[in-house]
Each structure stands twice: as structure tokens, then as C-alpha cells.
Structure 1
Amino acid sequence: MVTKISIITVCYNSASTIRDTLRSVADQTHPHIEHIIVDGGSSDETVSLVQQYRRHSGPLVSEPDRGIYDAMNKGLALASGDVVGFLNSDDAYADTNVLSRVAEVFAMQTVDACYGDLVYVAANNPNRVVRYWRSRPYQPGLCSRGWMPAHPTFYVRRQAYQRYGGFDDSLRIAADFEICLRLLEVQRLRVTYLPGVLVRMRTGGVSNASLRNVVRSNREVAQALRKHGFPAGLPLILGKLASKLAQLRWSLMAPRV
């Protein structure tokens, strides 16, 4: 049986970047893709570009929401695929075979989730790599120490979301960390690391957009850890900083992709 993959793209006034995202999904060689678009009620040309460039069927919602994680939960509720992944409206797949590789992993019934590597690219030049996010095979305890896989590379069986829930939208910046913590560390999903770059992500993400957001992100990570009974304090923050420095070091040695 061929794995059906639901890709959820959340967007708002994304006309300047979403064309590349849509083409990236359209060019995938995997034959069974559902591309769900959840738009926050854009006032620019986002919706018309979606209608023009989206090549795979799937629901299109355009209405106000309570933030990105509320929108992601709307997408989860609409998904019908065996596996669910998220691709932001300013990101693109690294090549045309990414979803085929993901589907091969999920052909093994012993796998509940997978993730891979990601490169950050310049916002005004998506061909220029500025940082390399190299992941690693998951070991128990990684998430509880503040580590997480790159969320745009994270794929999970839809049944797991149905069983364990979607995003905690009371968190405004770090709900992606919380859901990785919940699924990998608390529920112990069987997860596989898929080496290689899966996504090209433009710089300028919300969590790192300002010092205020960095502080808030760390607070929310600590909140998520405490929610699930894990300690949160200075060692966590230092560990996260060390992880960021490791990512920066990789950028200097990153392969061309």
C-alpha cells in the first residue's frame, strides 16, 4: 500500500514567498500527496496564488485564526493522509524526492515518526545557505534537555495526533517544541532519523525575530517541560545555547544543497 502524505501549509499574507512553497510540493515525485492550505484571511494575493499554483488536491481554508498553532490544528483536523507533515509558506523542499524518502520510511510499520536535516537560507536569496541544522538519531532524554528535531522536517502518523492531540495553542512560540516533547519523550513514539537535508527554510522565524521573542521562547520551553514533569532551569538554557552554537558551526562546513 502506498503511503498517503498530508502536507499542511499555514500562511498569512505570504504572496512574496508561497509560490516557491507550492511549486516545491507540486514537484515532488511521491504520487499520493494531500496539500492542505490554512490561510489566516490574507489581504494580499496569497489565496489566488494558492489556487493558481497548487497541484495536489486538499482543503483550502481562509479565515481568521488565533495564531499559527491554532491554524496548524485546523490543518490536522482536515488531514486524511496516513502521515502528516508541515511545510511553512516561506520554506521549500530540498529536492523533488523528499516525500518519496519519507514514504519509504513509513512503509515500515515499526516507525511512528521521522525527521531529517534542514538548512536556513537567506530571506532574499534562497540559494544561499546561512546555517545548517544537522539532526541526529533520537535518544531518550534529548527533548527533556531542550533539544528538538527541525519541525518542518518532522513527519508523524496521523493516528498519533488523533491519539495524543495536536498543538497546545496556549503557547505562542514554542508549541512545536511541546508537541515534539510530548510525542517523543512522553509517549515514546518509535522515531527514525532520516539523514540528509529535507527542507530549505528562510531565515526570520518568529522565535528568533527579536530578543523579546527569544526570551519568550525559552520561557515557553521551560513551561512545556514543567507541564510534563521535567526540570527546567539554567542548565536547560545553557544546553539550548550550546545546541544553537553547534548549528552555527555546522553552517561553516555545510555541504552545498
Structure 2
Amino acid sequence: MANKPEDKIQSVLFLPDNPERKSEGGLRTQGYFKHNHADKPLISVITVVFNGAEHLEQTINSVIGQTYDNVEYIIIDGGSTDNTLEIIKKYEGQIDYWVSEPDGGIYDAMNKGTGLATGEWVNFMNAGDWFMRNDTINSIFRNNIKSDLVYGDHEIRYSTLNKSVKAKSVLEIFKGMPFCHQSMLILNRLQLTNPYQYKKYKVAADF
């Protein structure tokens, strides 16, 4: 089922049938759909996961715990064989759409998520990532955003490393990644027309 042609964002609400699909679900499959509003744009948050049960629940709680009240949540699972699906189904009533099927890797899955997003803005918060605060999105969109891209600092946390990373100007991209995709909100129409080139750049398509 596709959005109406007059919609600004040409996305799809459901993926085509796939014989390798394990399962799908979420609010859309029950007939519930969210919408953009002039005074409160719909923000699509996409989580990509594959056998990420250990960290997925933290990510989900970070997204559904946002105080901004017009968030569309999409989870793209690559056909996990651990208990990732059990965790997703636990929160099915707070996820707009989720699907579990084989894909071509993280960037293919991120492109797939973009194609399903109906929000004006898109953010990728993949398994193991989380928002630093529950009012992160609200603090951004309480302002009238006039840019095509909003980004900020991020923090790297491992068992042996805890490091804050300051975002740099996009003009410095020749020096390296100026920010990470988790700390970025981009207009969906731009993400759709500039997908991750995962077949050409298998390791660093996000760069």
C-alpha cells in the first residue's frame, strides 16, 4: 500500500511480499498510521538490527521514551536467529512497523527503513545506540527548523572506553566523519534521493 501520489514523501507503508520473510508487525499492520502536522512534524526513527538482542531493548526504550509526541518508530531486522524478535514483539504496541527478513547488510537495511518512513525527518538509532536524554527530539523541534540537516555531538561507550565526540562542520568532511548518523536528523526527501551506496561502499557507506 503506497502513500497518495500528492504526498510530499514517496514512501511505502509495507514492504512487498518476500518468501524469506520471517515475520512483520506493528501499529501499521493493525490499521494505525501517524501523520505530519504543520506545527509538529512527524519524526521517523529507524532501528536496524541483526542478532542484537543483548542491546536492542535499551535502544527501543530510548526511542519510545522520547517526550516528543509525534515519533514514528520502524525496526528493520535482518532475520535474526537469537531472541531479537521476542524483544521486538514485547514492544509491538509502541512500534509503528517492524519486519524481519534477510537483507544485504546494515546499509541496505537502512535504505529499506528510509523507504518505509513517512515522517518529514529521519533519524537512525540502530541496535546498541540510544538518545542521551529523553527530551532530545523535543528540544530540537521546539524551535522552527529552517535547515535540511540537524546534527550534534555524540558519545562512544564501550566497556573500556567512554569518549565524547564533538561534531564538526560539514565543510570539514574531507578530514573525516564530521558527525555520526545516530546524531543526525535529515529531511526524509533528501535521504530518499541520496540513499546509502552499500553495493559500492560496503564498509563506509555512511561516510
Q: 1:168 to 1:22 in 2, by over 3 A?
A: same
Deviation digits for residues 162-189 of structure 1 (CA, Å, limit 9, x no counterpart): 3x32100121221111xxxxxxxxxxxx
Instruction: Give the letter for the 1:48 counterpart.
Output: E
Deviations 1:59-117 (A, max 9, x none): 21100011100000100000000100000101111011011123235x32x21111111
RMSD of aligned Cα (Å): 1.7
Whole-Å separation in 1 of the counterparts to 2:117 and 2:77:
15
Asked if 1:173 corresponds to 2:203, the answer is yes
Aligned to 1:115: 151
For residues 35-61 of structure 1, give each alpha carbon's deviation from its aligned partner in whole angstroms, at most 9, with x where no partner exists: 100000001111110121355332211
Q: 1:121 to 1:146 in 2, by over 3 A?
A: closer
* Structure 1 residue 6: Cα displacement: 0.3
User: Is 2:171 the partner of 1:133?
Assistant: no
**Alignment pair present for 1:19 and 2:57:** yes
Q: Distance in 1 between the 2:102 and 2:44 partners?
A: 22
- Give the TM-score taking structure 2 as reference length: 0.76
1:149 counterpart residue number = 179
Segments of structure 1 that go 5 or more residues without pairing to the other structure are: 178-257
- Percent identity, aligned pairs only, is 32
Structure 1 length-normalised TM: 0.62
Is the contact between residue 170 and residue 178 of structure 2 (CA under 8 Å) also seen in structure 1? Answer: no
The aligned counterpart of 2:26 is: none
Query: 3-state DSSP class of the match of 1:168?
Result: coil
Query: Following superposition of structure 1 onto structure 2, how do residues 3-152 of structure 1 map, counting pairs within 5 Å?
Result: 3-53=41-91, 56-105=94-143, 107-108=144-145, 110-123=146-159, 130-136=162-168, 138=169, 140=171, 142-152=172-182
What are structure 2's unaligned runs of at least 5 residues?
1-38
Distance 1:130 1:176 in 2: 22
- 1:78 and 1:47, CA in 2 relative to 1: closer, same or farther beyond 3 A? same
Equivalences, count:
168
Specify which structure has the bigger relative contact order, considering alpha-carbon pairs within 8 angstroms and separated by 6 or more residues. 2
Partner residue in 1 for 2:12: none
Distance in 1, matches of 2:88 and 2:80, equals 12
1:34 partner amino acid: E
| CA spacing shift, 1:71–1:63, aligned 2, 3 Å | same
The one-character-per-residue Cα deviations of 1:18-49 (angstroms, maximum 9, x if unpaired) are 01111111111000011100000001111110
- Counterparts in 2 of 1:3 and 1:129: CA distance versus 1, 3 Å: farther
Per residue, is there more helix in 1 or in 2? 1
Q: Is residue 8–residue 36 contact of structure 1 (8 Å, CA) maintained in 2?
A: yes
Q: C-alpha displacement at 1:129, in angstroms?
A: 6.0
1:178-193 paired onto structure 2 within 5 Å = none
